């Protein structure tokens, strides 16, 4: 069992930042190599466990309708992505953490809140509009 501590150490933050930057480059190059144009992936956050063995990468994929397909494709390519990341970070990391990819839904959540504030949708009259946020 892996624990993601709520209070990140400086080392965890530093490793997360290094992985975030390099992972974005690797993912974009894999999309180009696969011939998938018109899709943009950004890595919004990378959280690393306290023992530095696991990393959760939160991805924003545009257009969002392709999100689940891209996520499945990335999970199939996970060993190749991990290897390429390890090559890029070999001078900074001794061991490459295992990667887990998640869709970052925070922008959609914020958009729903903004709609509610502007009065386009009224969550008081329709409580199903702002469903509870999923924890990952």
**One domain, residues 66 and 78:** yes
Domain of residue 96: give its range.
10-104
Nearest to 96 by CA among 47, 38, 52, 41: 52
Asked whether the beta carbons of 89 and 18 are under 8 A apart, the reply is yes
Quick check: 120 pLDDT over 90? no
Asked which of 9-23, 83-97, 112-126 is least confident by mean pLDDT, the reply is 112-126
Asked which of 10-14, 44-48, 113-117, 118-122 is least confident by mean pLDDT, the reply is 118-122
Buried b / exposed e along 8-20 (16+ C-beta atoms within 10 A): eeeebeebbebbb
Instruction: Please give the pLDDT value at position 122.
Output: 63
**One domain, residues 115 and 84:** no
**One domain, residues 89 and 110:** no
**One domain, residues 92 and 123:** no
Instruction: Please give the pLDDT value at position 91.
Output: 84
CA distance 13 to 132: 28
In sequence order, what are the residues at sequence separation of 6 or more whose Cβ sits closer than 8 angstroms to the Cβ of residue 87? none
- 12: tokens are 């965890």
Instruction: Please give the pLDDT value at position 90.
Output: 86
């Amino acid at each position: 069992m892996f624990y993601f501590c709520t209070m990140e150490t400086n080392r965890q933050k530093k490793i997360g930042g290094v992985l975030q930057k390099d992972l974005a480059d690797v993912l974009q190059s894999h999309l180009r190599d696969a011939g998938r144009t018109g899709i943009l992936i950004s890595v919004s956050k990378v959280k690393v466990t306290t023992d530095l063995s696991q990393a959760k990468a939160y991805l924003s994929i545009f257009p969002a309708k392709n999100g689940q397909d891209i996520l499945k494709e990335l999970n199939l390519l996970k060993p190749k992505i991990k290897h390429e990341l390890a090559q890029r970070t070999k001078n900074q990391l001794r061991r490459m953490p295992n990667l887990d990819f998640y869709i970052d839904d925070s922008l959609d959540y914020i958009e729903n809140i903004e709609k509610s504030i502007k009065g386009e949708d009224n969550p008081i009259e329709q409580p199903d509009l702002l469903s509870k946020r999923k924890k990952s």
